[in-house]
Amino acid sequence: MNKSTTFSQLVQTALPKEIVDSFSNSVGYREVGRKFTVYDLFLFFAQAASDQWKSYREGALRAPACHLVKTCYSTVSKKAGDVPFGIFKQLLHYLLGHCNRQAKRKLSLPKELLILDSTKITVGAGRLPWAPLKGERAGVKLHVAYKPTQGQPHRIEETTGNRPDLLSSDALRDTDYIIVADRAYAKFIRFDTYVQERQSFVIRIRDNATFHQPRPRKGKKPVGSPILEDFTCQIGRDAKRSKQRHRIIKLQDPKGNPVILATNLTRSAEQIAELYRARWQIETFFRWVKQHVNVPVLFGTSPNAVYSQLYIAMTVYVLLKMLFDHVAPHVHVSASLSLTLFVRALRHHHLAPEWRVALTTFPFTFPFPVS
């Protein structure tokens, strides 16, 4: 990699045209334009995320300098509205499936954590009339299952902004993981299903939840423990009451506010409290992608244009994280960078020689067949 290498060139090496075309074929999309293709659209949105462009117009002006196809902004806009966003959704999940590297578990648990949450991207009501919100706003959501040990998403689903998070939980959860989630994902009857399907979970519930026939769990509480109560019970009332007994842990957060967790794990209450604390890592992830890969700035107004841009932006995050994780261990500590500083230096062609040399050893090609 030399100093003039652009992010677009790295993307083209990591995800060549043949891979994107294979997903175009899988959704039955037939290319109608040869001057500006699906792959050109992918590269355009990838560069827009990396360089934080603000519109189709700005992107069309800056594209040639980034070694992208020269075209007018109206052509990009039309293409974005025509191409099914499912192509780029499949591409992202292909990349996630093959590029997430295993990390050492910090806790001696049988399963890795999977944090469920969503982030909302809002605009004026007139921009997205198909995704109205309350008041004069409109917006969409990205529902994410996030692996904190790897700092990477596991699965992502898209919806309009008014869809409840709970309705997307089945598409995100995975029985190979311990799911950790906030109150938006708490439905007591569904906890019974989780137990039947052997889905491990730690989910916060409402402070006013009803507990039926609570039975305290035996065990000594360590000195200084934030745990207030640890018992089993049926949760809810009347028809919404869970049929099975579930474990409830009440604790105080550092500010003294009550937190009530439901779980089917048998670990210590203190360790389960630590698992729930890990949930805040997904908030950091959402903040990062909004600041550094242009997620809040929506160019188009159709579902295809909006969701294509968002899925490609998330693909850019995965690629950047993958590059960083590969290169950082090969760089001397005196030249070490955070992910944020690495991305900024890459964007502005200011990477130190050690980083550029290490990037030349990166295995860009994936030997896995597209399924």
Which among 341, 299, 296 has a CA at the least distance from the CA of 320? 341
pLDDT-based confidence at residue 10 (cuts at 50, 70, 90): confident
Domain endpoint, select from 246, 268, 290: 268
CA angle 103, 331, 4 (to 5 degrees): 110
Is 133 a member of any domain? no
Burial class (CB in 10 A: 0-12, 13-18, 19+), 139: buried
Is 369 a member of any domain? no
Both 307 and 261 in one domain: the answer is no
The span from the CA of 301 to the CA of 80, in Å, is 10
Mean pLDDT of 356-361: 81
Both 324 and 259 in one domain: the answer is no
Both 11 and 91 in one domain: the answer is yes
Residues with Cβ within 8 Å of residue 74, at least 6 apart in sequence = 56
Both 36 and 84 in one domain: the answer is yes
Both 16 and 66 in one domain: the answer is yes
Both 244 and 317 in one domain: the answer is no
Both 253 and 331 in one domain: the answer is no
Domain endpoint, select from 268, 287, 311: 268
Both 190 and 256 in one domain: the answer is yes
pLDDT-based confidence at residue 99 (cuts at 50, 70, 90): low
Is 327 a member of any domain? yes
The span from the CA of 38 to the CA of 69, in Å, is 12
Widest distance between CA atoms in the chain? 70
Both 313 and 258 in one domain: the answer is no
pLDDT-based confidence at residue 209 (cuts at 50, 70, 90): very high
What pLDDT does residue 365 have?
59
- Per mean pLDDT, which range of 35-39, 222-226, 352-356 is the poorest? 222-226
φ, ψ dihedrals at 228, nearest 5°: -100, -45
Containing structural domain, residue 194: 183-268
Expressed in angstroms, the distance from the first to the final Cα of the chain is: 31
pLDDT-based confidence at residue 219 (cuts at 50, 70, 90): confident
pLDDT-based confidence at residue 253 (cuts at 50, 70, 90): confident
Tokens of residue 263, six digits: 């779980």
Tokens of residue 39, six digits: 């792959």
Q: Is the pLDDT of residue 371 over 60?
A: no
Place of tokens 């009530």: 260
What order do you get walking across the sheet with 152-160 strand by strand? Answer: 152-160, 137-147, 112-124, 177-181, 200-205, 258-263, 246-252, 227-235, 211-216
Is 165 a member of any domain? no
Is 352 a member of any domain? yes
Tokens of residue 58, six digits: 């700005």
Q: Is the pLDDT of residue 109 over 80?
A: no
Place of tokens 């049988």: 110
CA angle 311, 66, 14 (to 5 degrees): 50
Phi-psi region of 297 (alpha: psi -120 to 50; beta: other; left: phi over 0): beta
Is 234 a member of any domain? yes
On whether the CB atoms of residues 45 and 58 are closer than 8 A, the answer is no
Which among 78, 79, 99, 66 has a CA at the least distance from the CA of 39? 79
Is 105 a member of any domain? no
Both 12 and 91 in one domain: the answer is yes
Count of domains for the chain: 2
Both 255 and 328 in one domain: the answer is no
User: What does 202-251 look like in DSSP terms, one character per residue?
Assistant: EEEE-TT--EEEEEEPP-PPPTT--EEEEEEEEESSGGGS-SS-EEEEEE
Is 39 a member of any domain? yes
Tokens of residue 363, six digits: 């295995």
Secondary structure percentages of the chain, helix, strand, coil, to 5: 45, 20, 35
The span from the CA of 297 to the CA of 308, in Å, is 13
Which among 104, 67, 56, 7 has a CA at the least distance from the CA of 301? 56
pLDDT-based confidence at residue 364 (cuts at 50, 70, 90): low
**Helix (H), strand (E) at residue 266:** none
Domain endpoint, select from 220, 245, 268: 268
